[in-house]
Structure 1
Amino acid sequence: MPRPDDHTGTRIREQRKLARLTQRQLADRLPYSYSLLNQVECGAKPANLDFLAAVAKALRVDVTVLTGQPYVTELQQDRLAGLVRPIREALDLYDLGADGTLPETPAGRLVAGAEHLCSQVRATHLRSAARLLPATIADLTTAAWRTRSTELWQALASTYRTAHDIAVKLGYYDLGSVALDRMDWAAHRASDPCLAAVRQYMRALVYFREGEYAIGQRLVAVGHGIVGAAEQTREVVAVTGQLHLGASVIGARAGDQDAVDTHIAEAERCVRRTGDASEVHWLSFGPTNVALHRMSAAVEMRQYDDALTQARQIALPPSLATSRRAHFLIDRARSEMETGRTEAALGTIVEARHAAPEQTRYHPGARETIKGLVHNSRRAPDTLGHLAAWIGL
């Protein structure tokens, strides 16, 4: 018997009624059918990411109003929920100056610690990174206030970016926004245009999730303005290319094929200048990432056959960050599910779980695919049943 999709359908119905809209009136504001809205509200179908973004925009609410904090039970089971409050508290230290109770630590060790956190997130070791993050922020904040060193302000800005990444991966989008504000604060003190542009890129992805594509595109344009005024070093070109990749996926979600093609072409021009620049700000920018974004754009535009064709042609190098590898597998599984290749989709999502269990468990696309497989299966195989229980379905 159908059940609500983590009560998302119920929340949509509640918010629709608060807006004094009938189902038909809300459906008229969506690029989706009345039938789909009805099925989501009653729990007969799961609400996918595109649908949620469109409904949130139409109702003028945040996506999290419709989803709630989606992983509370799982986070408690994984003992991750208790790691979030110390991160929130560490982010509030930014304007308190140096903490006299903290000992002086060599700058090199602090910078290495910030880099280690970035590597932990890219390796999808979220628990480990979340545990280390608050003390790293506290130490870097104090050291940066004591010395006013550009290097330390840069490392602090990078660590705030790591805080954003962890918060978003665990579904705490409000905390992610706070972390990006802190990143801007530190990047300004470091006078680092690349960090400032990366922050605009991350902000654009926030609006991508919320369905506000025009704002996301404007933020990317601001990022381009920042790096465009800087000396065109390899680092600057790599960040410019990553901004184009972000814009390509935003364009795809907005259904703008011309924008997708334009931004992918610009990213390709950048990558011809930089080669593999995966190490630049941990953005994974390089030929493989361009190919992965082209495929992601096809997924976002619901061109699933094209996405699968591209997936078969992508050879992932061993050096690719685990987080990117898992994202590729999740995109592939979604495309397989949407084209009726359910057995292949199940196998791919299992592969994603093996590669990056923490990221996969909390990834909206992975959860959407698992729920879709459950809804489409008359009799779920044991493997799918275990996956459904694993994500709390």
Structure 2
Amino acid sequence: MSAPGHSEFTAGLAPGENLAVLRKAHGLTQAQLARRAAVSLSLLSKIEVGDRALTPAVAAALGKPMGLTVAEVLGEAAVHQEAEESLTDLRSALRDYDVPTERTVTDSDLRDGVMRASALRDAFDVARLTQLLPNLLRDATAHAFAVHSAEAWNSLAEAYSAVYWLAARHRWMDMAELAVTRQRWAVHQRADPLGAAIADRDRAGAYLNGGDYEGGLSLVERAIVAAQSSPSLSGRERAFAVGVLNLRGMTLAGRLEDKSEGRREAERHIRSAWNAAEELAGVEWHRHSMIFGVRNTTTHVLATRLDLGSPREALAMAADVDAALADLTPTRVAATRINLARAGLDVGDRDGALTNLRIAWETAPQMARTNPMGREVFRVVSSLHRRSNPELLRTAKLAGIPL
């Protein structure tokens, strides 16, 4: 993949900057929006000028009076013109979900394609993934209709999951919601409880990005009950299904407006996730392009503590961060480093925040252009730091963000 600064996907405005543009477009003053969102005027002002980071929970509150989702407030990642053709082809493949082509596809070829898509996700190589997905969807569709096996339909569902992942990372919520609908349709062609759990986890992610945290939690609860009661799931596979659903549940709970309720719900999902992780005996399991185990649970708990307003608790969990992140994918490592940067900013450790951002962008460079919180934290850190700070200049160069 090309170096930062030459990616086919760009981030546009950082979330706080995007919020200011949206507020003005809706004809609202800062005072009017703050009052309608029940957010302090001081906080809103600091977010817009770059003295405070816009968090997902605050974005949800500020978006509601304007009729906007969290994803819309955070802002879509823009696409260079040369990538538009791949996205147009991908949308066409999504529309043709029940129109199989006359392709001859082997099980081996399809497994290779799905594994390639998973590897590109892990590497955050969004440009190559976007190029791969249209033909992968068409191949998987043709194969599923031809052989009608559980494995074939699961491969198609996993391809749709990759589309959801791509769309959610760029806040393209129309595509994300269509992808999870297709994903659920595929897994239910031949009953597969583990695939259904993954599909429900992705669908709950659409609720998360839409800011409907209560609705997402209700969906997760139903999915956990279904996984626990399924006679086809047992042992470590059931632990995996329940575990990944609880990871989504704790994230949703951490974003609830009522932080007392959020902490209560989050702790319940955290306990359940730890119990499921212990059943895997210290191994990080990989299934359907998902990872679950003790280490991945640690990263999600850390993020949830931060969303609940406890940055010091989040930082305490990262006392031995390198060990905690060992063997995880670059995207998970980078996401955790961005969360640590946000926590550092919250406690006044600007240097620590900047160091974690640099490590994140060294680990998964394309996240610099698509991860809204990474760009938002960098926006705030750069406004607070002297521009001659060498670490700031180095991080800006890595991210391809002008100061």
TM norm structure 1: 0.88
Cα gap change, 1:84/1:332 in structure 2, threshold over 3 Å: closer, same or farther? same
Answer yes or no: is the 8 Å Cα contact 1:299–1:307 preserved in 2: yes
Deviation of 1:59 after TM superposition, in Å, equals 3.5
What is the identity, as a one-letter code, of the residue corresponding to 1:141? T
Deviation of 1:31 after TM superposition, in Å, equals 5.2
> What are the superposed Cα offsets for residues 349-376 of structure 1, whole Å, 9 maximum, x if unpaired?
1111111101233111211111111222
Matching residue of 1:348: 356
Matching residue of 1:235: 237
Cα gap change, 1:67/1:274 in structure 2, threshold over 3 Å: closer, same or farther? closer
Aligned positions, number? 380
1:10 aligns with 2:49: no
Partners of 2:378 and 2:51 in 1: CA distance: 15
Which ranges of structure 1 fall in alignment gaps of 5 or more residues? none
What is the identity, as a one-letter code, of the residue corresponding to 1:165? W
Answer yes or no: is the 8 Å Cα contact 1:56–1:62 preserved in 2: yes
Cα gap change, 1:355/1:202 in structure 2, threshold over 3 Å: closer, same or farther? same
Matching residue of 2:303: 296
Q: Relative CO higher for 1 or 2, CA cutoff 8 Å, sep ≥ 6?
A: 2
Structure 1, 172-181 or 153-162: larger mean CA deviation: 172-181
Answer yes or no: is the 8 Å Cα contact 1:164–1:175 preserved in 2: yes
Matching residue of 1:272: 278
What is the identity, as a one-letter code, of the residue corresponding to 1:60? G
Equivalent residue for 2:384, pick from 351, 376, 382: 376
Equivalent residue for 1:244, pick from 243, 246, 260: 246
Please list, as runs of the form range in 1=range in 2, the aligned pairs for 1:1-393 lying within 5 A after superposition.
5-15=16-26, 17=28, 23-24=30-31, 26-30=33-37, 32-40=39-47, 47-69=54-76, 71-72=77-78, 75-76=79-80, 80-96=83-99, 98-100=100-102, 102=103, 104-231=104-231, 232-233=233-234, 234-254=236-256, 255=259, 256-275=262-281, 276-314=283-321, 315-316=323-324, 318-379=326-387, 381-385=389-393, 387-388=395-396, 390-391=400-401
Identity of aligned residues (%): 26
> What are the superposed Cα offsets for residues 243-299 of structure 1, whole Å, 9 maximum, x if unpaired?
112111211111221212111111111112223242122321001111111111111
Partners of 1:16 and 1:42 in 2: CA distance: 18
TM norm structure 2: 0.86
Partners of 2:38 and 2:208 in 1: CA distance: 16
Query: Match of 1:129, SS?
Result: helix
Partners of 1:296 and 1:85 in 2: CA distance: 34
Partners of 1:4 and 1:261 in 2: CA distance: 29
Cα gap change, 1:43/1:334 in structure 2, threshold over 3 Å: closer, same or farther? closer
What is the identity, as a one-letter code, of the residue corresponding to 2:186? A
Cα gap change, 1:116/1:169 in structure 2, threshold over 3 Å: closer, same or farther? same
Cα gap change, 1:124/1:317 in structure 2, threshold over 3 Å: closer, same or farther? same
Which ranges of structure 2 fall in alignment gaps of 5 or more residues? 1-13
Answer yes or no: is the 8 Å Cα contact 2:15–2:376 preserved in 1: no
